[in-house]
Structure 1
Amino acid sequence: MARAERLHQAIARQLGSAILSGAYRPGDALDGEIEQALALGVSRTPYREAIRILVAKGLLESRPRAGTHVTARARWTLLDPDVLAWTFSGEPDEQFVKGLFELRGIIEPAAASLAAQRRTEAQIAAMQDSLASMAHHGLSSEDGRAADQQFHRSVLEATHNDALASLASSVGAAVRWTTRFKQQRVALPRDPLPEHIAVFDAIAANDGEGARHAMEELLRLALDDMAAALP
């Protein structure tokens, strides 16, 4: 069973979602600590912990005598897995979604090409397991989306490039939350599993160029699906 969300994490999610949705704008001041804690119906300790989380993620800055303010968007760690989750819990900005797919389009095709050249048999087996789980559960379920996330993570890890592998959490979170958002809005018009299988087949065959093109096609179709889910 998943660990229950702790109080300070719930407060951070609530405030973070409000900032990302525009309810709080850059430069806006949050009321004093006592007032905010009372408004949220919590003690000052979990409220302080929540503020520390949001400061660490770049959404807030808190200074003595100056108070706590929302920072400029340029300072937000938009690829943080929590921040991505909060973004897609509401109505994500269309330009941000497109930018996210542009970023994936830069990273993942190149990663797939490297993975085709460097993958191990254990990594091929891990990708096969992810595909089998996707096929069994489907992307409308949490288990299926987790398998999808793990597949993309495995591709990055198979590059054996530490800098690329360090992006696995962010890319995986982007995969998870964009897919979940699409599933909540519209029934997908197609099964995305074949595109994943095409990427896998090219990686398994050590076909770097084929893996690159297959990942580009996967992302193109995923963005088309996302466009159908946005207003």
Structure 2
Amino acid sequence: MTAAQPQATAARKPRHRTPRPRSLRLHGTVARDLGIRIVSGVLKPGEILEGEIAASLQFNVSRTAYREAIRILAAKGLVHSRPKIGTQVSARREWHLLDPDVLGWIFTNEPEEALIESLFELRRIVEPDAARLAAMRRTDEQLARMKAGLDGVAQHGFATEVGRRCDESFHSALLEASGNDFIVSLTSGVAAAIAITTAFKQHRLPAPHDALPVHLAVFEAIAAQDAQGAHDAMAKLVDRGLTDTMEARDPGGQRGPISVCC
């Protein structure tokens, strides 16, 4: 056997990755649990969290895992640490509400009506004008991505995760097509809001409205470079989304028309 042969033999041996420490697998679960308690109001702004030792015992995790969970929450604005006081729940104005995880935690249980209305108010401010700009500035490639997203929704439906990802692709391509860097910077948050509220509606309404025709109206206006038509179709889509989300929150309730814009 030549000198090179042992090296080649060794190279063919499967490489085993070192398993990730259990603490690193658990910190996300702890962050989610605490995050849901915070956004649902179980833990209120200003409240002091348990000390590191007690909390790690409560969650049955290492102190390292608990510290990492707190770092995650602090990065999302949900908590902050103060010397000689401890880890404190932050005021709501400091929460990163468009963070996909924070949005998901908000819709895990029963989101407040005011918070839903505020979320759709933001969408009503941003998305219709983004659609108007997209009609004037979109490229053929961006238009093709929008169409591919809607084709995926038509095939898989909003009730499936695949279909919701396709819807997310449509909205992301639309925001990008606005050509406005500040609008594009909102893509992650807006796309997450759309995906999460769509899943919320699909899971809680026995027969949710089919939103695909309104999506197609937005696409057709953008394809035709009809700026006002794209704006109006998107405004209708957002308004429909708000009404359906409120109905999903309270399926048996009676409510009149909801206004999200002046």
- Aligned amino acid, residue 81 of structure 1: P
1:188 and 1:225 in contact (8 A); partners too = no
Matches within 5 A, 1:130-169: 130-169=149-188
The secondary structure found in structure 1 opposite 2:202 is helix
Distance in 2, Cα, partners of 1:154 & 1:207:
17
Q: Is the 8 A contact 1:134 1:148 kept in 2?
A: yes
Cα offset, 1:64, TM superposition:
2.6
1:56, distance to aligned residue in structure 2 (A) = 1.2
Q: How far did 1:139 drift? A: 0.4
The residue number in structure 2 matching 1:46 is 65
- Root mean square deviation of aligned Cα: 1.1
In structure 2, give the amino acid aligned to 1:80: D
Structure 1's unaligned 5+ residue stretches are none
Aligned to 1:68, the other structure's residue is in SS state strand
Is 1:208 equivalent to 2:227 in the alignment? yes
Q: Does 1:99 align with 2:118?
A: yes
Q: Which has the larger radius of gyration?
A: 2
Q: Please report the TM-score for the alignment, with normalisation by the length of structure 1.
A: 0.96
> Deviation per CA, 1:69-97, whole angstroms, max 9, x where unpaired?
11111111111111001111111111100
Aligned to 1:187: 206
Is 1:118 the counterpart of 2:146 in the alignment?
Answer: no
Shift of 1:6: 3.2
Name the amino acid aligned to 1:111: A
Match for 2:136: what amino acid? Q
Alignment partner of 1:6: what SS? helix
Moved over 6 A (4+): none
Q: Which runs of 5+ in 2 are unaligned?
A: 1-23, 251-262
Give secondary structure in 1 for the equivalent of 2:47: coil
Rounded to whole Å, the distance in 2 between the matches of 1:7 and 1:120 is: 44
| Equivalent residues of 1:182, 1:188 under 8 A apart | no
In structure 2, the CA distance between the partners of 1:205 and 1:133, relative to structure 1 (3 Å rule), is same
> How many Å separate the matches in 1 of 2:107 and 2:41?
13
- State the shift of 1:166 in Å: 0.6
- Displacement, 1:189? 3.8
**Counterpart-to-counterpart distance in 2, 1:89 and 1:165:** 27
Q: Deviations over 1:175-195 (max 9, x none)?
A: 011011111111344211000
TM-score w.r.t. the length of structure 2 is 0.85
- Which residue is equivalent to 2:42? 23
SS of alignment partner, residue 27 of structure 2: helix
Given that 2:124 and 2:238 are in contact with CA atoms closer than 8 Å, whether structure 1 keeps it comes out as yes
Q: Say if 1:112 and 1:203, in contact at 8 Å, map to a contact too.
A: yes
Q: Deviations over 1:112-152 (max 9, x none)?
A: 00000000000011001000000000000000111111111
Partners in 2 of 1:58 and 1:164 — Cα distance? 22
In 2, Cα distance between equivalents of 1:170 and 1:52:
21
d(CA) in 2 for partners of 1:227 and 1:115? 28
CA distance in 1, matches of 2:239, 2:40: 26
Q: 2-side partners of 1:79 and 1:32: how far apart?
A: 29
Secondary structure of the 2:193 match is: helix
Aligned in 2, Cα 1:35/1:172: closer, same or farther, shift over 3 Å? same
Structure 1, 186-195 or 146-155: larger mean CA deviation: 186-195
Residue type of the alignment partner of 2:195? R
Contact 2:52–2:63, Cα closer than 8 Å, also in 1: yes
The aligned length equals 227
